[in-house]
Amino acid sequence: MDVVVYTSAWCRDCRAAKRFLESHGIAYREIDIETTPGAADEVFRRVGKHAIPQFVIDGEWVQPYRPSRGFLYAEMRERFGLSTVREA
């Protein structure tokens, strides 16, 4: 499985997303929208808004959080085929 995470250092939801992946041993490549030229524009082009974190899972763009709900733990566990709750 190829997982890319679009993030930024100031983003609390991004930190939660990375903790989720790390706690489940899911390898990922991180793209910081603040330090990677064109990354913020790519997010906007793909999802129609400047919203991070964004996962790209085997080429499919997935927003792993919702405003006022935070990180979508149950949905992401299902998406990754995980059954154990091990959130940090």
Give the confidence band of 85 by pLDDT, cuts at 50, 70, 90.
Answer: low
Amino acid identity for residue 12 in this structure: R
Task: Count helices and strands (H / E) in the chain.
Answer: 3, 6
Is the predicted pLDDT of residue 87 greater than 80, yes or no?
A: no
The distance between the two most distant Cα atoms of the chain, rounded to a whole number of Å, is: 37
Cα separation, 77 vs 57, in Å, equals 13
pLDDT for residue 65:
92
Q: What is the pTM of this model?
A: 0.88
Query: Which domains, from first to last, does the chain contain?
Result: 3-61 (3.40.30.10)
Tens digits of per-residue pLDDT, 16-61?
A: 999 999 999 999 999 999 999 999 999 999 999 989 999 999 999 9
